[in-house]
Amino acid sequence: MRLNQLTCLLALLAVVGCTQKQKEAPIEQETLSGLKRSNFQSVVNGDSTDLYVLSNANGVEVTLTNYGGRIVSVMVPDKDGNLKDVVLGFDNIDDYVNVNNNFGATIGRYGNRIANGKITVEGVDYQLPKNNFGHTLHGGPEGFDRKVFKAEQINNQTVVFSYLSVDGEANFPGNLDMKVTMTLTDDNAIDLQYEATTDKETVVNLTNHSYFNLSGDGNKTILNDLLTINADAFTPVDRTFMTTGEIAPVEGTPMDFRTATAIGERIDNDYDQLKNGGGYDHNWVLNTNGDITQLAASVYSPETGIALEVYTDEPGVQVYTGNFLDGTVTGKYGAVYGKRNAICLETQKYPDSPNKPDWPSSYLKPGEKYTSRCIYKFLVK
């Protein structure tokens, strides 16, 4: 074989080899939110993490990760038909792991605060780890938000996350076997359905901690958004953010959101509860009586026309206006998350219910099934 023929043959083989490699490693497709699955594929504490994509016929997209059972992005149309990502978060798993946060997380075993980290179950006192002004918040420093869930994608609109919290984890009693089914519905809602069972009496209060910004720009505050809460009362807190045991009327106070009111209209009023909470960081006692067909709360952005409606069978909703965001965290799209740049609407039992027997019970016994449901529905007005 002549030299020039050999050269051509080698060149041809090189082209074929490159083509084969391209077939084996195709270019990764981004999600509508610009997220890449590869940035979420890792191993955390020995368990694999990933990114899951839900989509419906309307072009709405939700992405999830099994690290903390989190909602990562929510792409919904604004009044002009442009898709906006309306939740805060990160574009990679490393930031979720290394930056102290609970963006979009499934919270447990006990969402919100337990006074002094103490509970009594079947006559036995348990001391839980304290992580918030002397109290236990969101299950302690190693709550469900830092666990890797098992994940099963049922179809392009549903993912099931499950987790076994073993007896003694964070010093809670009982093996708690829980799951949350996350479904993107055809009416542009995220339907969260929680279930849990235990082999020993325990307490449980599961919720989701998504940080919503309906402008689609995490650099902006939510103070001009209009908030409505279907509640005649709320549970006041002391200076450590702990509920006092009182149920107080909202009438005549800055806590009255029975009609749509700008979040920032009264947030800095000279009012003891706003001072104690650093803004709104309170549980409202819903008027819905567990009826999930009744509107519990809503938020509306005049800028984008996007509205969020919240429905739940829980008795309360914790409304938190991002008062502790301080501009030190940079999230998706390079947005800097500053004070009051998001609102959280956490459906749940009232804070510290295990220590307040007159409030809706958060105790779960063997043979019983804990269930809870929250629907976040998006629309344009």
Provide the annotated active-site residues.
209, 346
Strands 297-300 and 344-348: unpaired
Alpha helices per DSSP H over 140-283: 272-277
List of residues 6+ apart from 118 with CB closer than 8 A: 125, 126, 127, 128, 355
Tokens matching residue 151: 């994940």
Does a cis peptide bond (omega within 30 degrees of 0) precede residue 2?
no
CB 243 within 8 A of CB 283: yes
Distance separating the N- and C-terminal Cα atoms of the chain: 75
**Cβ distance 87 to 36 under 8 Å?**
no
Of 49, 73, 46, which is closest to residue 151 (Cα–Cα)?
A: 49
Nearest to 68 by CA among 268, 208, 227, 244: 208
Contact 363, 298 (CB under 8 A): no
Copy the structure tokens of residue 204: 């449980």
Measured distance CA(20)–CA(202) in Å, rounded:
56
DSSP state of 239: T
